[in-house]
Amino acid sequence: MRHPLKALEDRATRRRVIVWLFTTLIVLLALYAGSMVVTSTRWFCNDGCHNVHADNKKTYFASSHSEISCMACHYPPNMDPARFALDRVDKLLDIYPTITGTFEMPLNEYSRSALRMDSDRCTQCHTANRLITPKPGMIIDHDVHTKRGIGCTVCHNRVAHPENLPYELPGNKHHEDFMTMRACFRCHTLTDTAPSAYKAPGTCPTCHTASFDLVPASHKTVSAGTGWLTPLDGGLSLHATAADADARATGEAVAEWTPKADEFFTKEPRIIMQLINVDTEKPLHVPPAATVRECYTCHVRASFCVPCHARSRVAVSE
C-alpha cells in the first residue's frame, strides 16, 4: 500500500504536468495565431519579407488597392487555418532565394498569376456595392465572360499593380496591360481562327457604341502634305511604316514566347501547394498580347490588304 504522502505528491505532480501542458498549448496557439496575423499584413508582405517584390511593392502602393491586404487577392477567400498554416511552411522554401538573390526573374512573367486567379477573390468585394463603369464608348458584357470561365484578372490584370512606374530589380520587366484592344484579340477575332482556346466575335458593335470613333488617331495623321496612305518621297507611306514595325515587333514576341509556351501552361506548383489545393489552377490558355498583330484587330489581311497590294505588287507583311 502506497504511503498517503506519496499519493498526494503524485497527484500534485500530475496537476503540475497538466497545467504546464495546457499553458504550453495556449502559448503555442497564441504564437501561431500571432504569426498568422503578422504574416498576413501588407506591412509584412512588403517590408518584412518580400524584398523580392520591391517593384511590385511600388506599383501596389500607387494603385487603387493600396489599402487592401495582399492576402485578400493572392489567397482564396475564407481559407481554413490548417491549409493556411501549411502554406506558411511552403513559403519557408522562399527564404533562401530571397536572401541570396537567386529568385526567378522576371517576376510573374507573362502575368501568370492573372491568368489563373479565380474571380471569387475579386467578387468578395466587387459585388452589387461596386458598379461597373466601362470607359466611354465601350460595351462590356461581364456576365458572358464569367459564364465562359474568363476570370476578372484575365482582362483586369494590372488593376492592383499599375505599370506606370519604372522597375528597378535587375532582370525584371514590365507586364502587359490586358486592357487594350490587342489583348482583347487574344480571344476576339475577325476570322474563323483565334490565337487562344477562346474564340469570341470580333465585330465592332460587340464592344463599341455607335458613337465611338473607330478610326485611330494615327490613321488621321497628316504631315507636310503626306497622309496615312501617301508615299513619303519615294519611301514607304505612313501606314506601311507602321505595318512593318507592327510585323517586326509581333514576330519578335512570337519568337520569344513560342519556346516558353508549353512550360508556361503545364508547370506544376510545389507539392505542398498541390496538397492544400492553393494556386493550383492552370493559366487560362491565351497567348501574350504582344503576339497579336495590332493591324489585324481591325483588318483581315486577305480581304483588306491583299487586294490593293496585289494590284500594286507591293508585298504586305505577315
C-alpha cell at 199: 474564340
pLDDT above 90 covers a percentage of the chain that reads 35
In tens, the pLDDT along 185-221 reads: 999 999 988 999 899 999 999 999 999 999 988 888 7
Answer yes or no: pTM beyond 0.75.
yes
Q: Which of 124, 154, 120, 112 is CA-nearest to residue 261?
A: 112
Look at residue 12 and tell me if it is in a domain.
no
Q: What angle do CA 246, 109, 142 make, to 5 degrees?
A: 75
Structural domain boundaries enclosing 103: 50-210+237-302
**Residue 47: closest CA among 55, 61, 57:** 57
Above 60 in pLDDT, residue 224? Answer: no
Closest by CA position to 202, among listed 182, 219, 177: 182
Q: How far is CA 12 from the centre of its chain?
A: 61
Please report whether residue 274 resides in a domain. yes
Domain-located, residue 24: no
Average pLDDT of the residues in 255-263: 96
Instruction: Please check whether residue 12 is in contact with residue 6, taking contact to mean a CB–CB distance below 8 angstroms.
Output: no
- On whether residue 283 sits in a domain, the answer given is yes
Residue 161, in any domain of the structure: yes
Lowest mean pLDDT among 44-58, 146-160, 283-297: 44-58
Pairing mode, if any, of strands 188-189 and 200-201?
Answer: parallel
Q: What is the pLDDT of residue 315?
A: 64
Q: Is residue 255 part of a domain?
A: yes
* Residue 226: strand pairing partners: 223
Nearest to 116 by CA among 263, 292, 286, 272: 286
Compute the distance between CA of residue 280 and CA of residue 260 in angstroms, rounded to an integer: 19
What radius of gyration, in Å, describes the C-alpha atoms of the chain? Answer: 28
Q: Is 61 part of any domain?
A: yes
Backbone angles phi, psi at 203, to 5 degrees: -75, 145
Which residues are paired to 189 by β-bridges?
A: 201
Residue 202 belongs to a domain: yes
Q: At 167, is the secondary structure helix, strand, or coil?
A: coil
Q: How many whole angstroms separate alpha carbon 156 and alpha carbon 158?
A: 6
- Cross-strand pairs, 212: none
Q: Which three cell numbers stand for residue 133?
A: 463603369
Spatial CA neighbour of 77 closest among 46, 34, 123: 123
Handedness of CA 16, 17, 18, 24 (dihedral sign): positive
Segment 117-148, tens digit of pLDDT? 989 999 888 876 666 667 788 888 888 998 99
Give the type of residue at 121: R
Number of domains in the chain: 1
pLDDT at 131: 62
Set of cell numbers at residue 55: 517593384
